[in-house]
Structure 1
Amino acid sequence: MRSRVVCGVAAAVTLFATACGGGDDAKSSSGATLGGGTAASGAAPAGTSGFPVKVTDCAGAETTFTQAPRKIVTSNASSLEMLFWLGAGDRVVGTGFPPGKGTMPEQFAARAERVEVLGDMVIPKERLLGSGADLYIDTFADMGGMGAMGSGPSEKEFSAAGIKHIYLKSTACAAKRPGPQQDLAEVEADIKGLGAVTGTSAKADELVAGMEQKLGAVRTALAGVPQDRRPTYFFFDFDAGTKQPIAVCGKQVANAVITLAGARNVFADCDGDYKPVAWEDVVARNPDWIQLGVRDKGSAEANAKAYDEAERFLRGFDATKGLNAVKGGRFVRIGSERTTIAGVRNADTVQQIASTIHPDLVKPAQAAQ
């Protein structure tokens, strides 16, 4: 059995970095969360059309932008990818948790590789403050649960360095939200908020409209399937290890993706966004379908090999080989990042899951290619 790699790069991002930032210092210049921005138009970094723009943090405190940022640092590949989709990727001067090979959409891959890596994991405090950035986008907010590695600048230090500090609401505030994420409204709000801040609202609206078109097609196709008749579903985070499974709970973005795809997350009722569970818990919930949550390995061949390895484990492990999904060979082979990390491609993942588990209702032609 593989050992659990909880402190690895990808696992650290998805399992620990979830708390919401904010505080009194955020009211004037930093610590805001996207999703509350006013509309902006135009894409010029130095433009003022559509400004000022205000965004709020998890507690409602505001940060005001009088113009679009010129130099941006991202905490990880999620916000970096959003900026590429918005057409603002040329303003990124550095990132932490750089995208792995194959994880970026093909059209952005070459440019993403040229972005300076300021930290293989969390960006060191001194390097972030000395980056010359005027905006830092934090996908996951407080990394304190990761020990010394998570010790970042204070909001006063961000302000003194001239860096505005904002978060993506769909992930930064997820663990503290009052209920589960059942749609992609907060992801879409992050895209629109980031569009407002960067002066690319027109593109943000276009991206969200495209997502809604895809989601609407799936919603219409599944309208006749009662909630209690929808199959149960377990997201198996294979790369987090096999000694103890890590469940995606109701507050995680993946729960919204699973729900919209016409399935019922077997761990939707656990509080928070992620939770270590026991294999006995998985067996007790006996899912109809299992997603092999493999992180992108950089090529179709490498991914196929990883999916095969994950499936072999489930078929050979005494605790799981008797599950309904395993006995029926009902496995979903869709990458982990596009399911658990907020972004434009969440809508594509909804389509792909739906076309796999509801093939008679959502045809492959409707699914993302």
Structure 2
Amino acid sequence: MLPRLATLLAGLTLSGLAQASATHYPLTLDNCGVPQTFAQAPERAVTIGQAGTELLYALGLGERLAGTSLWFNNVLPEFKAQNDQVERLADNEPSFEAVVGKRPQLVAVQFEWMVGAQGAVATREQFAELHIPTYLLPSDCEGKDNLVGADGTRLRPFKVESIYKSISQLAEIFDVQARGNALNTALQDSLLRAQRQLAGKDLAHTSALFWFSSADLALDPYVAGRQGVADFMLQTLGVRNVVESSEEWPTVGWETLARANPTWLIVARMDRRRYPADDYQKKLEFLRTDPVTRNMDAVQQGRIIVLDADAMQAGIRLFRGLEVLSAAFASGKAAQP
């Protein structure tokens, strides 16, 4: 698992801290094609999306958070004490008024469908009119069209460098560059550890399917498409995604998925309950009892991995997810929740 950031920061020498260049304000950054200017390091921030929230916690910026929203899983244990001090504005999308009411000097956003051209919360222009900078995680805008498909469509494969970029830019915005460098180093090391677990293992004929959720268990499931974050996880470990759509999370019929007969099934575990299938136990029951899915090799042979939903997103949990998947692929044993 990833070392905690406090351990990393403790290991930084005074000279290392001194070498990190300070931020010069006003700072202007290009964020997803929209320039954002910061007159000073934000004292109050609001996050819309768990990935951005935990990135700021990992950067030691929890005391700057005035509110959070849009959670898939409970907060990571190492951040619980800090998170307990921060108001949760909504489990899912907050209202524009709730965000603005916290008087933020930065709104960090995980998904463009929350704050964007058709934002469920608002457009970036609405925040700009109130002189509130918005920072959209580059992982959800670079090489992606969020106006096509329910969760957007990838125009080119997701790149893990977009996460490192988010960390570096947020660290620059808040003037904590040394912490950003340390966190990026830890994440890069974690990715390499996951790959090393599979060194010498032949996965040429290994395939997988990510099942995120379903609007109803009787309907087609939301599964991971090609070129997205979850697909990147498989590509990094040398495993093939059986879904061919370039949508981020397309719906695909179980008959089609059963014919593809993936070696592994990876199901999302969530603490949110927007849809019945958010409950991973209901997913497992469906897989084992449905007349189509119960005959899949992965179901019959117990090759079902339960993985936190936010480990399938572009944040620090992705790297923990890679290590969980790598361990399962290496041992042939499914990870238990």
- Name the TM-score, length of structure 2 as normaliser: 0.79
2:225, 2:247 within 8 Å by CA — same for their partners in 1?
yes
Partner of 2:135: 166
In 1, Cα distance between the equivalents of 2:300 and 2:230?
Answer: 24
Distance 1:270 1:279, change over 3 A: same
Structure 1 contact 294–336 (Cα < 8 Å) conserved? yes
CA 1:201 to 1:217, structure 2 compared with 1: closer, same or farther past 3 Å? same
Q: Could you tell me which amino acid in structure 2 is paired with residue 166 of structure 1?
A: Y
Q: Is 2:32 the partner of 1:58?
A: yes
For 1:345, the equivalent position in structure 2 comes to 317
**RMSD, aligned CA:** 3.2
Q: Deviation of residue 217 (structure 1)?
A: 2.5
**CA gap 1:199/1:232 in 2 versus in 1, 3 angstroms:** same
What is the DSSP-based 3-state SS (H/G/I as helix, E as strand, rest coil) of the residue aligned with 2:108?
strand
Deviations 1:194-219 (A, max 9, x none): 11212122111111111111211233
Q: 8 Å contact 1:239–1:294 — kept in the other structure?
A: no
Tell me what 2:78 maps to: 107
Matched, 1:272 2:247: yes
Aligned residues: 304
Change (3 A) 1:66 1:273: same
Task: Label 1:296 to 1:338 Cα distance change in 2 as closer, same or farther (>3 A).
Answer: farther
State whether residues 261 and 351 of structure 1, in contact with CA within 8 Å, keep that contact through their aligned partners in structure 2: no
TM-score by length of 1: 0.73
Measured at CA, do residues 222 and 107 of structure 1 come closer, stay the same or move farther in structure 2, by a change above 3 Å? closer
- Quote the Cα distance in structure 2 between the aligned partners of 1:241 and 1:357: 30
1:85 aligned partner: 58
Q: Are the structure 2 counterparts of residues 93 and 265 from structure 1 closer, same or farther at C-alpha, using a change threshold of 3 Å?
A: same
Q: Equivalences for 1:306-317 in 2 at 5 Å?
A: 307-317=280-290
Partner residue of 1:328?
A: 301
What is the match of residue 120 of structure 2? 150
**In structure 1, C-alpha distance between the alignment counterparts of 2:164 and 2:215, rounded to whole Å:** 27
Q: What per-residue deviation string (whole Å, max 9, x for no partner) do you get for residues 320-365 of structure 1? A: 11212112211112222212x22112111101101101228xx99x
Instruction: Check the 8 A contact 1:338/1:346 in 2, yes or no.
Output: yes
Using a 3 Å threshold, how does the CA distance of structure 1 residues 230 and 355 change in structure 2: closer, same or farther? Answer: farther
Q: Distance in 1 between matches of 2:54 and 2:215?
A: 23
SS in 1 for 2:22: coil
On the 8 A contact 1:244/1:278 being kept in 2, the answer is yes
Measured after TM superposition, the shift of residue 240 of structure 1 is 4.8
1:206-262 CA-partner distances (Å, limit 9, x unpaired) = 1111111121123344354566x1510011224654221111112432222222233
Structure 1 Cα separation of the partners of residues 91 and 308 of structure 2: 21
Letter of the aligned partner of 1:178 in structure 2?
L
Q: 1:35-50, aligned counterparts within 5 Å? A: 49-50=22-23
Q: Distance in 1 between matches of 2:60 and 2:190?
A: 21
Contact map agreement 1:179 1:250 (CA 8 A) in 2: no
Match of 1:290 among 260, 265, 281: 265
* CA distance in structure 2 between the aligned counterparts of 1:271 and 1:129, rounded to whole angstroms: 35
- Alpha-carbon distance in 2 for matches of 1:124, 1:238: 24
Match of 2:144 among 155, 175, 183: 175
Percent of aligned pairs with the same amino acid = 24
Change (3 A) 1:348 1:230: farther
TM superposition shift of 1:90: 0.6
- In 2, the alpha carbon distance for the partners of 1:352 and 1:167 equals 28
Alpha-carbon distance between aligned partners in 1 of 2:298 and 2:224, rounded to the nearest angstrom: 18
Gaps in structure 2 of 5+ consecutive residues: 1-15, 146-153, 274-278
